Amino acid sequence: MAVSPQQVKELRERTGAGLMDCKRALEECGGNLEAAIESLRKHGIAMAAKREARAAKQGKIEAYLHAGGKIGVLVEVNCETDFVARTEEFQAFAHDVAMQVAAQQPDYLVREEVPQAVIEKEKEIYREQVAKEGKPPQVVDRIIQGRLEKFFKETCLMEQAFVKDPDKDIETLRKELAAKLGENIQVRRFVRFQLGQA
């Protein structure tokens, strides 16, 4: 199906994708703009996954103060080039991640950082809870695993629901940004300070 230059222009404005990518997506989706946007997003996220291995040594350290200076956060967000680090989208993402840390108080960046001892302690607590609830033995392990997943979503920054859009987690935002900017984007580390807390 032939697509008009106006359709390509609109898709490009809405997604920031290249002209040929927009034209190809519209042709594949029979001129359906929304389907073309979805197609470009899927393609962009797939391409972003390939970029994960590339070195991300540029970026910024974002500082965020909240509650009249009673809560402070430092977050290191990396990308591949200084050019991308200066873009409005990258800056906004770094700010949003710092705000997320201030609001949601994650303990870890990703679940792989959670010490095995902490995981075992959580499982022990859940096992005691399930025993008190009188659940059948055949479902105990599934219940414990479900509660452990909830624990990861609450304590690991990259798995937390984004405070501004709870339908997305921070990892999804990172992947979408990487797809849009065409670079490997990584949240490297964070630290949160709260007045009066060690």
Average pLDDT over the chain, rounded to an integer: 87
Q: What is the CATH number of the domain that holds 27?
A: 1.10.8.10
169 and 88, same domain (yes or no): yes
Whether residue 7 is predicted with pLDDT greater than 80 in this model: the reply is yes
Q: What is the spatial distance between Cα 59 and Cα 183, in angstroms, rounded to a whole number?
A: 11
Q: What are phi and psi of 127, to 5 degrees?
A: -65, -40
Output 3 or 61, whichever has higher pLDDT.
61
68 and 9, same domain (yes or no): no
Please compute the mean of the pLDDT values over residues 50-68 and round it to a whole number. 80
- What DSSP assignment string belongs to 82-100? HHHHTSHHHHHHHHHHHHH
Q: What is the CATH number of the domain that holds 90?
A: 3.30.479.20
Q: Which long-range contacts (CB under 8 A, 24 or more apart) does 67-73 make?
A: 69/195, 70/194, 70/195, 71/102, 71/192, 71/193, 71/194, 71/195, 72/102, 72/192, 72/193, 72/194, 73/98, 73/99, 73/101, 73/102, 73/190, 73/191, 73/192, 73/193
pLDDT of amino acid 169: 95
Digit-coded pLDDT (tens) for 80-95: 988 999 999 999 999 9
Domain count, the chain: 3
161 and 71, same domain (yes or no): yes
Digit-coded pLDDT (tens) for 128-187: 888 888 888 888 889 999 999 999 999 999 999 999 999 999 999 998 998 888 888 999
pLDDT of amino acid 172: 92
pLDDT of amino acid 49: 53
**Beta bridge pairs of residue 194:** 71
pLDDT of amino acid 113: 95
Please compute the mean of the pLDDT values over residues 2-6 and round it to a whole number. 82
Q: What is the CATH number of the domain that holds 146?
A: 1.10.286
Please answer whether residues 137 and 144 qualify as being in contact, where contact means their C-beta atoms are separated by less than 8 angstroms.
Answer: no
Tokens of 24: 């190809």
Q: Which of 7-11, 111-115, 125-129, 152-156 has the lowest mean pLDDT?
A: 7-11
CA distance to 1, 18, 39, per residue, from 8 (Å): 13, 10, 14
91 and 160, same domain (yes or no): yes
21 and 46, same domain (yes or no): yes
Return the percentage of the chain with pLDDT > 90, whole number. Answer: 53
* Residue-number span of the structural domain to which 37 is assigned: 5-51
Q: Identify the domain boundary among 51, 74, 89.
A: 51
62 and 145, same domain (yes or no): no
70 and 105, same domain (yes or no): yes
104 and 119, same domain (yes or no): no
Please answer whether residues 183 and 79 qualify as being in contact, where contact means their C-beta atoms are separated by less than 8 angstroms.
Answer: yes
123 and 186, same domain (yes or no): no
